[in-house]
Amino acid sequence: MTMPLSVTDCVVRSDRGRVLLSVPSLELGPGVSLGIRGPSGAGKSTLLYALAGLSDRAEGSIRWGDTELLALSTARRTQFRAAWIGMIFQDFLLFDELGALANASLPAMFAPRSDRSALKTRAGAQLAHLGITALKRTVDSFSGGERQRVAVARALSNDAGILLADEPTASLNRDAADALIADLVAKVRNNGKTLIAVSHDAHLLDSMDQIISLTDGQIETPSGARPA
């Protein structure tokens, strides 16, 4: 289950008013995967944050299906994220003092009681699938690659329809990266999810349905669609 994305005239400015991101138009069908590339500082993370409804400063229109994200209150946006979006952050953002399973199933802490056990089971299954076996050991002793996989498992734990991934393979070796790429793509294909991934990884970009390039906050090849 997922929905289409439609961005129109979206502008994100910094506190001082500098334009960090300006997207006149971006359309994405449901269940399509999109790769975003661009040099460092181009605004890739900024775009992902905006699409997740995290940015207070975004103007214009970001529609997920019938939901106009920018028109929602903060609380409603949070609800939307909890229900629809799984995020993988560029620097993982794990709780060092918690174990792999507790990190991966973090959303269970605030999920409705009825969803908690399903969420934990899913998180555990994801970890196993990604080859993380030490479930209890606190993640501060994990390697970069292991931490990244825990972060991925967390993003997948709520079985969200939309996956937003910021450099999901940056810390993985080639084999692990390829496995993860195959995995994510399969998820998108089989379960009808939308995947938007920021990456410099050619393998990942190659597996995406579409690719855009960002430079200085502008989309360079808005119609850079590639045949699927």
Partner 1 sequence: MIALWDGLPAETQDIALVVLLILPALIVGRIVLRGYAPWPLIGALLWRFRWANGLFVLLIAVSVGMGIGLLAQERGLRQGTAAAADKFDLVVTAPGSEITMMLAAVFLQPSDVPLLDGATYAAIAGHENVALAAPLGFGDSFGASPIVGTTAEFAIHLSDGRIEGRMWQDYGEAVVGALTPLQIGDGFIPAHGVGDGAEHDAHGGEELHVVGRMGATGTPWDRAILLPIETVWDVHGLANGHAPEHGEQIGPPFDPAYFPGTPVIIVRANELWANYALRSEFITDRTMAFFPGTVLGNLYRVLGDIRQAISLMTLVTQSLVAASVLLGLFILSNLFQRQLALLRALGAPARFVFAILWSYGAVLLVVGAAFGTVLGMIAATVLSRVISARTDILVSAPIGWSEIHYLAGFISLMTLLSLLPALAAFRKSIVAGLRS
Ligand X SMILES: Nc1ncnc2c1ncn2[C@@H]1O[C@H](COP(=O)(O)OP(=O)(O)OP(=O)(O)O)[C@@H](O)[C@H]1O
| Binding-residue pattern over the window 88 to 127 for Mg ion, x denoting contact by CB under 5 A | --x-------------------------------------
- If one asks whether residue 116 binds partner 1 (CB under 8 A), the answer comes out as yes
Q: At what angle do helices 113-129 and 144-157 cross, to 10 degrees?
A: 140
Q: Which residues contact 206 (CB under 8 A, 6 or more apart)?
A: none
Q: Binds 54, which of partner 1, ligand X, Mg ion, none (CB < 5 to 8 A, cut-off by type)?
A: partner 1
Span near partner 1 by CB under 8 A; candidates 33-41, 64-72, 91-99, 183-191: 91-99
Rg (CA), the chain: 17
Q: Which residues contact 18 (CB under 8 A, 6 or more apart)?
A: none
- If one asks whether residue 40 binds ligand X (CB under 6 A), the answer comes out as yes
Evaluate whether 36 touches 47 at the Cβ level (below 8 Å): yes
User: Rounded CA gap, 228 and 209, in Å?
Assistant: 5
Contacts (CB under 6 A) with ligand X, residues 72-111: 90
Contact residue for ligand X among 1, 8, 9, 14 (CB under 6 A):
14
User: Rounded CA gap, 27 and 211, in Å?
Assistant: 12
Using CB under 6 A as the criterion, which residues of the chain lie in contact with ligand X when the complex forms? Answer: 14-15, 20, 38, 40-46, 90
Using CB under 8 A as the criterion, which residues of the chain lie in contact with partner 1 when the complex forms? Answer: 49, 52, 54-57, 74-75, 78-79, 81-83, 85, 87, 89, 93, 95-98, 102, 106-110, 112-113, 116, 154, 158
